[in-house]
Structure 1
Amino acid sequence: MADGVVPARVGQPETILDTSGRSVDDVPAELRENGRIWLTYTFHNPATGVEQLKRTYLQLHDGLVFGSGYYILDSQVQAVTFSSVLQYEDKGKDAAIAAFDATPDEPLATYLFVVDPQTGTTLAQSVNPNLIGQVADWGAITEVLATQDIIDAISRGTGTWVAYNHINPVTSNEETKRTWLVMHDGLIFGSGYYSSNIPESDVIFAVSSTIRTYESNRADDAWIDVITFDEPITTDALYPFVINATSWTRLADGVVPARVGQPETILDTSSRSVTDVLDELEARGSVWVTYTFHNPAAGVEQIKRSYLQLHDGLVFGSGYYTLDYQVQSALQGHILEYERDGRTSALASVDIIPDEPFTTYLFVVDPQTGTTLAQNVNPNLIGQVADWGAITEVLATQDIIDAISRGTGTWVAYNHINPVTSNEETKRTWLVMHDGLIFGSGYYVSDILAPADLPP
């Protein structure tokens, strides 16, 4: 009935329970009994442009449900900075800075850093600088936001968010990073998360939800039918699967029911053996694995990163396809540049054609006229046919607008000339709307890595 961010959601069916593990019958019943309820689910974060884990409080009043929530990754990094400020207060400057500057054995993406804004000196950071290319966060931050603007924003006692590109010390890839900055005792404390932390957080939640489903439906093994559909489905959403840890066969599958009862294949292309993974599950309770697997939305094998958790002799899992998220993350980075630099400057930047063509190029379209305003690929390399023309041959413009005007994006598949191979290939593209324009970026079928190219 009302929405504080996206007016197009008004009048639409509510979707917050679609990924919550709670039913539409269950939640209203608890609201009627208790008057209020907390829920956890995945939902579009307008600040990052993608689905993220969100925790929301709902309260029943006068026959209406009022709600608001927070994104869990945001809250986690804010907690890191706040606890560090408390530690600074407790230990004093010298002892706290020395503690913050200790480098852990295993790098963390949400590491802390402390900066003297007057000199630009990083006084402490809890990550090996070799893992972030010797470029401290502060140097990357001040490339997108002036130091004085940051000080003005946070010197009033509140913090501020900033997004920028930086090397993730865990993946060694340059990713978009979202960081929370606060000022204390004349110093700036910061902690953030990288784009790859978002799907991993969502996947862990999906596995936890599946375990709750298992525990709630154990009688007569009803959980298997709850997780497994009667017919195969095509979906972009995270889906669960369950493996028997002893026989290494699939017991439940959220997409393809015919996989149930079959020998498990996820490790066939992973560089990890079944024994190795089971040993780690026994020792730690959970493990991440990377392998190639069928993407039901794309219809082909793709690199997938999955989280496995051992529970009650069963292995519960869910994962995400890495190319999908890389494209979504890169596109959101361009939208952040648009917000920071303004329309004219951002579109001019997009329209610069690189010396070497690449497949995941960006394009920006005015949906009212169908005009491609910018694209960073030579049009001669894609047969003079802009992506938008190919897209609207398979999906009507109004259907696209209806799908993305509610604040989320949509995937679309079509045939197009690959600027690198010069061949017509199937392309999968992510579209979002921002400031009345449609931003798009995608990948071609030849971008999907073969098993031999799979990272360890």
Structure 2
Amino acid sequence: MMRDSMNRYIGMLGIAAILCLALVAYGDSRIPVSTTSAQDMDADALTKAYVDGAMEYYADRGLGKTVEFYGNPLSWHGERYLIVADAGTHVLVSSPLIYLNGGGIDALVPGGQLGGEIDGATQQGHWFDAEGLNMLTGQREPARYFVVVEDGLAFMSLRFSGELDTPLPAPPTPTPEPDDDAITLAYVMDAIARYESDGLDATVAYYNSEESVQGERGLRIYDPESQTMLASGLFPLERGEDRLSFGTLVDLTKFFDGATAEAQWRDVVGHTRDFQDVPKRVVAILHDGLVFSSSHITLQENVAEATKHYVSRATAFYDENGLEATVEYYNSPESLEGNFYLFLIGADDIYVAHPIFPHLIGTDIKDVVGSDGQELGREIAQATGEGIWVEYLWPNPITRVEEQKTTWAIRHDGLIFASGYYTAGDEAFATPWKDADPREYTVDYVNRAIERYKRDGLKAMKAYYNSVASFEGQWYLFAMDENDIYIVHSLLPRLIGTDIKDMVGSDGFELGKEIAKATEEGIWVEYLWPHPVTLKEAPKLGYAVRHDGLIFASGYYPEVEDPEAYTKDYVQKAIEYYDREGLEATVAYYNSQDSVDGQWYLYLIDGTDGLGLVHPVISLTIGRDVRTLEGLIAGEPVGELIYDAPEEGYWIQFLFAHSQTSETLTRYIWAVRHDGLIFTSGYFNEE
């Protein structure tokens, strides 16, 4: 008896300590209860008042704040605490059993009773009897619950009426804050509640605003029927039906297409607002034909588990569909999930699938050696039925730069199934060409292509350099056979099969015939050619070498020595053209390709209504309000800044995505207000 009393005393001291810590963290908050004095209420009335107060708190603050407050011991009222579950009977709040948050409601009371009671609950609420955890005694005891359903959520609390002989196993110490899954799920449920109360337009507008973003937690609203991203608070470029090929959005929409009314979770490699790769946990819920989704950053261990899960799904696919279907699927882009892709090795250690580097197919993995000399292929070939982890340097398909990779490889039915994730720090994102001499880098790029041809053969070389994986900044390879016929051109693949000698520039220069004069010593040729960012003609300096009868070539676009001065001069000439020729002629000329000068072109806006008048590169901006434009980072008010341009002009800097490689670039815009119009042009630099 004395020991039981002592245990109870210690338990109460522990609860008091938790409450003290919570008070320090939250300050002098007040627990929402009925306005009627607690002394005038019986136990049932006090329990109901506690639930009513929680619902008032929810109506006033929203679900996210409700989860935050009632997930803290400070919210307890004597023996009463709040439990909130969603329509799928997943626990959102239960601070004494916080480790169950995100799990099924029946984990609180085994036997399915709570789920059944929630299904029968109404807005008027009802009472029922079940077991519950009394935090004042640490015992599971008979309890009387009151439950109310509002906005698809079940709010309930309980009071106790006696003791049971069977004690509940001691729960972990309650923490002051709910876990990340619960917060993210609450954030999504709050969005669904807003949609129900305010309608689609208002909800989309809110979740496309910076106000809705909570750190790295933003909302996506996706319409599966039209395949349109209606809202994306963190990443504005995702919005719209024509943005589903941006970044890893294709992989995300695959996940969305499988969403149901019950929350679905997935661990992925995503990116932050400043576009650093991080492990993330994504939740998606299908509601009223729309997918509501959010995510939060997780620990690195989650990515390791996600990698193993990706590989296990591949082995299951093989078991169900056979080798031929597996090879076909995992050699296709449809198999990619963010940074995850599968490479499949046959029983003889020969590659049979690799969607990123198809030139490896047919080669022996044991022959693969890293740039640092690590015999990574031999290590992967040692995979067992239990699976192994291998760390090595490997090109990231997103950045195309070598980064540290951790791969999970498992031998299954004689085959090796493998995938991995990248663990690079910021230093891995430093592009080797950024500070290099462009002329020297061009020669080096071409020489490396020749070495690959000598090492891997013609077929493998063509496969690699006809893929975007071979891009290195503005550098890409174009190659011709012994008859000067294009066999490689990843930027303009339509040229493959044509004769380079027939290539003539817009200025009449027979650039193809000049390049065809390439020797084994190499030659340089200067000509006009589409830039890989703007796809508009710009001066290019090409280097071509004849080797083994083939021509290997690449080149670079010489930078203007003073791009700021060049930009200002371009804008000033446009203003002078307008003053001399008038608006109609200015619109006609600067909407033509004749006005484009490399990466420089005019974006002309009506200074009153903000509508675009001229844009020769992206015609969709004509007639669109410039103030709606945002940069790559959520909330970056690029359009507002352009619209506010003064007569003396100013510079605007923002991030945008490379049109071919999705690299993050910085664009610098010079904007000047003149005669009621806004004249702008700009240039870009690699970040």
Q: If each structure's strand is expressed as a fraction of its own residues, which one has the higher value? A: 1
Taking CA–CA contacts closer than 8 Å with sequence separation of 6 or more, which of the two structures ends up with the larger relative contact order?
1
Find the structure with the greater CA-based Rg: 2
TM-score, scaled to structure 2: 0.26
